[in-house]
Structure 1
Amino acid sequence: MNDILRDIPDQIESDRLILRSPQPGDGPIVYSAVCASLETLRAFPASMPWALEEPSVDISEAFCRQSRIDYLARKGLPMLLFLKGSETFIGACGLHNLSWKHQQAHTGYWVHRNWQGQGLITEAVSTICDFAFTQLKLRRISCLADIHNLDSRRVAERAGFQLEGILRNERIAPDGSLRDTALYALIR
């Protein structure tokens, strides 16, 4: 099957969240959340190098539009996270490096600083992984976290991911230091 012909809904739901594909016009809400969360996003620059760039509405809008293109082309399934029953944007989660042939993807996530510690990002990750296994028939989802990013690692663990190993000197931080990465995976 041609990947672009795969029927995938633009949004899925969890108990407390709406996870939906980015749309043109979402740039301002993403920009606002990124600006509010820069300190936490920049804490692990080798994992989130995009956060080092000075944010702007245009950069966020370009991200949303490119993400929408990738979603429609079925190359990746980035999702914006909204509290159910409101327009409140709380972060992002998605399936990246999607390989239909090998039935696998990577997941990544971040949450607005005002919504940290409430289990929302774990709920989002669990929801998208369940969707990936049941609806998309993927067999493996991996997650890479800086070895020192304990919050991100706890999210992966609470979502059922297993630590497969530590990738030594896997990334180079902007200051040139070598960073170790924890490799987690969830399999069907």
Structure 2
Amino acid sequence: MPDPLLLDIPHSFLTPRLHLRTFRAGDGLRLYEAVAESQAELRRFLGHLPWVAEELTQDSAELRCRRCEAYFFSRADLPYLAFETATGRLVGSFGLHRTDWQVPRTEVGYWLRTSATGQGFAREGVNALVDWAFEHLKAQRVELITDEANTASRRVAEGCDFALEGVLRHAQRAPDGSLRNTCVYARLPGDKAPQGKAS
């Protein structure tokens, strides 16, 4: 595998209803609005979205956007904002995280603003990134990790042909002190036909 900095990784993807693109300076206000709408739901599973625990301000949202932009260019992380093509509205975020470039293996992650849930956007975005990872990164494994109690995320995993490989008992401690179980899902090459395309 060449140095990740030499890989041409697209700055955007198109799916039937979504435009996924990298974070940019100036995206902070839109990110702030989406997270502010959804904080209560997102904070239910902080073990998988630790940045949501931080105080939310327009400045903190802008700072996150600039950090995500830097992560993308350094290949430390591959995060994307997701916009509904028909309206231009920011509906959430998707990304490929914790990539082991030597295997290569990666983890797909996502969140949606509350008003965009239940419409199939999560499956659409996950499939687009995962299919691209198999085809262009030659990924040998893509993981999807979620809290056992996060039934919505588990439905996304199963709907995107991920196999549940195990439940890690007491794998994380929640902010309230309770111990949480973590589900480990994975998909291997050839498990799903391509859905979206890079642009």
Q: TM-score, normalised by structure 1?
A: 0.96
For 1:69 and 1:184, locate their aligned partners in 2 and report how far apart those are by CA, in whole Å. Answer: 28
Gaps (5+ residues) in structure 1?
A: none
Gaps (5+ residues) in structure 2?
A: 190-199
For 1:146 and 1:160, locate their aligned partners in 2 and report how far apart those are by CA, in whole Å. Answer: 18
Q: Which has the higher contact order (CA 8 A, sep 6+)?
A: 2
Deviation of residue 9 (structure 1)?
A: 1.3
SS at match of 1:107: strand
8 Å Cα contact 1:173-1:179 kept in structure 2: yes
Q: What is the 5 A alignment of 1:16-165?
A: 16-165=17-166
Deviation of residue 58 (structure 1)?
A: 1.5
For 1:57 and 1:160, locate their aligned partners in 2 and report how far apart those are by CA, in whole Å. Answer: 37
What do residues 58-116 of structure 1 show as CA deviations (whole Å, max 9, x unaligned)? Answer: 11111111111111112221010011143210000100001111111111111011111
Q: Percentage identity across aligned positions?
A: 39
Query: How many equivalent pairs are there?
Result: 188
8 Å Cα contact 1:6-1:74 kept in structure 2: no
Q: Which residue of 1 aligns with 2:3?
A: 2
For 2:70 and 2:51, locate their aligned partners in 1 and report how far apart those are by CA, in whole Å. Answer: 19
What residue identity is the alignment partner of 2:76?
K
Q: Which residue of 2 aligns with 1:172?
A: 173
Runs of 4+ in 1 over 3 A off after TM superposition: none
SS at match of 1:163: strand
What do residues 26-79 of structure 1 show as CA deviations (whole Å, max 9, x unaligned)? Answer: 111011100000111012222223222221111111111111111111222101
What do residues 137-165 of structure 1 show as CA deviations (whole Å, max 9, x unaligned)? Answer: 11111111110000011011111111000
For 2:175 and 2:108, locate their aligned partners in 1 and report how far apart those are by CA, in whole Å. Answer: 22
SS at match of 2:139: coil
